[in-house]
Structure 1
């Protein structure tokens, strides 16, 4: 319990230093999400045991820090591709309450857990769907409907783009969280235009980046 408290205190300090706005209501909701995620993680493998210990610094901070480097619309329609336990989608939705968020994952146990989390913390305009991206993106209710696709820990860039690009509206973008050396991955997707690599310039997130991808020519 102490390690989680220290993790939360460090998270709040970093958010303050980076001007990531957190009012008391958003913080309470983030705390409810974290507590519920940890409860569900006892039943379903949503995050690693190591991630449990520094959940605020790594899981939550890494998710919301993107708001300081990418201009995400306030009333966007957003899809979280391979959401796992609701990351990064749910923490971002808590900060951007006007988003219409869809969370997808190909593992039914994970999506069932995410549905329970959504219900317990009473999030609105959020739905969780059990499906593979390449299948759902062909569905007329999802094809070309989203402003942004988010992907964190969902695979290599070429796989993510191939299986999520059909979700995007004409000017939509894919936002991918990455770490370490990604030069080889970038080479594999050089046929796409408007690729930007942005550092998540936040204490504790060493070599963490986001890759912003536009529609192919």
Structure 2
């Protein structure tokens, strides 16, 4: 994967990338591979696959969201920084909060954002169930993302408390989401969310992806999120 190839992929979706942004992605890739030797950040280390299945996949959210209308974004269970860091590289105006329960990953993300000299990125160590009750984070963000974290009826309780009234949560998923969408009906109702749309598309390697868009219509009820561990053990069904 080189700049020209990546540029063509983005151009097909009416996007362009500068040489400065490309340099940041190159540094991101090298840092990811280096740290991955010391800790498990990703099973994908081949350069072209990283660019397609991590970087491009993350950026592709912007094909369906007008990022110019988004100011604050929270990324829940971000892992190695997906989708938030690629989005930040492409849309520098974003104010990003990355939340992850594993302190080692937060260490990597702090190092990465320092290496890339990214401003307005906060890497926060903690569980979503606890941080969702933090008044500085609760009902606060224009857009909340989660990529390959949990089933939707669990994700809703992790993520919707962070979304401001009128904002959106997007669950970034692989194929075959219809069953978990049906299972999530009650959690949406309880957490003031409503299914807006599901966007299906393919990555350049023909992998299937689904983005589940959820609109938040009101403030999070006081009883949510429940205590750490409860949403995954006893999902709202």
TM superposition score normalised by structure 2? 0.83
Which whole-Å CA distance do the structure 2 matches of 1:51 and 1:132 have between them? 31
Instruction: Give aligned pairs, total.
Output: 212
User: For residues 123-202 of structure 1, what are the structure 2 equivalents within 5 Å?
Assistant: 123-191=118-186, 192=188, 193-202=194-203
Which whole-Å CA distance do the structure 2 matches of 1:170 and 1:216 have between them? 6
Change (3 A) 1:20 1:129: same
Matched residue, 1:203: 204
Which whole-Å CA distance do the structure 2 matches of 1:51 and 1:76 have between them? 33
> For structure 1, which runs of at least 5 residues remain unmatched after alignment?
none
Matched residue, 2:60: 65
> For structure 2, which runs of at least 5 residues remain unmatched after alignment?
189-193, 219-237
The Cα offsets for residues 75-114 of structure 1, whole Å up to 9 and x where unpaired, read as 5110000000111100001111011001111111111111
TM superposition score normalised by structure 1? 0.90
Which whole-Å CA distance do the structure 1 matches of 2:117 and 2:132 have between them? 27
User: Aligned Cα RMSD in Å?
Assistant: 1.9
Quick check: 1:44–1:113 contact (8 Å CA) kept in 2?
Answer: no
Which whole-Å CA distance do the structure 2 matches of 1:188 and 1:122 have between them? 41
Quick check: 1:14–1:202 contact (8 Å CA) kept in 2?
Answer: no
The Cα offsets for residues 7-61 of structure 1, whole Å up to 9 and x where unpaired, read as x654333112222221122111122112212211111111114566610011111
